[in-house]
Amino acid sequence: MNEETIKISASLDCANYLDLLSDIRKLEEGGVNMLHLDIMDGHFVPNYALGTNLLRKLRPQTSLLFDVHFMTSNPEVSIPIFADLGADIITFHVETTSRLHQMVSSIKNLGKKAGLALNPSTPPDILEYIFPYIDMVLVMTVDPGFVGQKFVPEVVKKVQIIKSLIDSRHLNIDIAVDGGIGEKTVPLLKKAGANVFIAGTSSIFSGKDEIEIAARKFRELCEKTY
């Protein structure tokens, strides 16, 4: 794993909604690569979060990439809307559809990068025939829907398997991890093959350090050799 491939995506669901633009400026200075937006519908996951107005207002305010993660039962309805608003990477869950190729193609046809997300209990072999068409795999390391949940250690092995499958095909696909990503879990996940780390309350937004400083420390953690 080259250090140059490491990417940090800061989860805006964990930021201060009342001073969000200020937090984004600190994240920019702290060296994050992307802003992670969780879109929840109260059905696929038992929670609601973020939406179109937020992306519409933030897109002109920053050059950071927007990494949009749909945790919704019908992502195909909203994908064109968020693509038009400025999402750069659009990820949806494999558990939501049997038409993976069609939905991935729709994202690529909109000129966006396509990602597929897997819940902790979803086996990685579901990706076998879709690998050549995607840009990123998002491995959930907690059951999705709420911040601050307990890390599921079994997903480390799943990341290893996905990394092996990607390398055996000589493909260039990012492996992102989301949920409980911090000092204890980053070394395990990086050694397993992850290179995109989604930062939330276990790292950048823990409150232990000012956000810019926390972002710099988190990048240093992720870029270490383990």
Q: Which residue has the higher pLDDT, 149 or 102?
A: 102
- Which residue ranges make up each domain of the chain? 3-223
On the 0-12 / 13-18 / 19+ scale of CB atoms within 10 A, 111 is exposed
At 16-48, the pLDDT tens digits run 999 999 999 999 999 999 999 999 988 888 788
Contact in structure between 190 and 1 (CB atoms under 8 Å): yes
Q: Which two tokens stand for residue 18?
A: 């009342």
Q: Which residues is 41 bridged to in the sheet? A: 48
- What per-residue confidence (pLDDT) applies to 51? 82
Q: Residue 3: which pLDDT band, with cuts at 50, 70 and 90?
A: very low
| Residue 145 known to bind ligand | yes
- What per-residue confidence (pLDDT) applies to 215? 98
| Residue 148 known to bind ligand | yes
| Residue 66 known to bind ligand | no
Calculate what percentage of the chain has a pLDDT beyond 70: 96
Where do the DSSP E strands lie in the chain?
7-11, 34-41, 48-49, 65-71, 89-93, 113-118, 136-140, 174-178, 196-199
Q: Which residues is 37 bridged to in the sheet? A: 68
- What per-residue confidence (pLDDT) applies to 4? 52
Active site residues: 38, 178
| Residue 43 known to bind ligand | no
Q: Which residues is 146 bridged to in the sheet? A: none
Q: Which two tokens stand for residue 171?
A: 């493909």
Say if residue 92's pLDDT is above 80: yes
Calculate what percentage of the chain has a pLDDT beyond 90: 89
What would the mean pLDDT of 83-97 be, rounded to a whole number?
A: 97
Least confident of 84-98, 136-150, 157-171, 189-203: 136-150
Any idea what the Cα angle at residue 172 is, between residues 168 and 173, rounded to 5°? 95
| Residue 93 known to bind ligand | no
Q: Residue 149: which pLDDT band, with cuts at 50, 70 and 90?
A: confident
Q: Say which DSSP state 95 is in.
A: G
When the candidates are 2.60.40.10, 3.40.50.300, 1.20.1260.10, 3.20.20.70, the CATH number that belongs to 3-223 is 3.20.20.70
- What per-residue confidence (pLDDT) applies to 2? 42
At 46-74, the pLDDT tens digits run 788 778 999 999 999 999 999 999 999 99
- What per-residue confidence (pLDDT) applies to 1? 41
Q: Global pTM? A: 0.95
From the list 43, 46, 33, 126, the residue with the least C-alpha distance to 78 is 43
